[in-house]
Amino acid sequence: MKNVTKIDARLFSAIEKHIIDSGMGEDKDSFETIKKRLQKPPVLNAEEFAESCIYVILAGGFRQKIAKRKYGEIINFINSGGRVVETNLLKIFGNANKVRAIVKIWNNRESFRDEFYKLKTDEEKLNYLGKLPHIGKITKNHLARNLGISCVKYDVWIQRLAIALNKSKLQAGFPLNEDVKILCDKMFGKIEKATGLNKGYIDVVLWKACQTGILKFLYSSITLGI
């Protein structure tokens, strides 16, 4: 293991390659798909928009593997012509609050999608996404990124990484500490400048590196586990 004091272009590339070569990927899409989407945001139809919402609703607070599986089961049910009501979806996924939100998203997918694309700026779109059923202040960033908006999710792993790189005594957690957010933004700014990549994609790669233990936190230092 090597100690990490900063993440430059060479190290970021090595981390990215290791994750891709290991087949770990991130989210429901590949790194390459995410990168292309952030470079050229697509215009989704109502069904695609609703499916993106459904995935992040399922992913919040659950392991990615479980979220992917339940997402697949629900989408297969919908595509097979199943009636999207709470009683049916609860047989697939037992969280009533999430199921209620999924039903509302799906049954109002056209209006939600149309309202989103009427907005002009990323900030307006982020604020709008945060008001959708079961999305909220943190999950909206995950959804926005999956829709092609380059933004940072400020996950606890990302907070810990920024704190460790800056040798700060601040604590990660929620609600997000404004000083921790500043450290995160400082970290992303440096890596954006070094790599030429946008912060949304950098966030995806670093989150996976932390979550899988490629970047490990040992006391006040960071080590590279590849």
In our burial notation (b when 16+ CB lie closer than 10 A, e otherwise), range 202-217 reads: bbbbbbbbbebebbbe
Same domain, 62 and 86: yes
Among residues 146, 180, 211, which one ends one of the domains? 146
pTM score: 0.89
- What total number of domains does the chain contain? 2
Q: In this predicted structure, what is the pLDDT of residue 219?
A: 72
Q: Are residues 82 and 132 in the same domain?
A: yes
| Tokens 């959804």 belong to residue | 143
Q: Is residue 167 part of a domain?
A: yes
pLDDT at 56 exceeding the cut of 80: yes
Asked if 157 and 202 sit in the same domain, the reply is: yes
Is 1 a residue whose pLDDT tops 80?
Answer: no
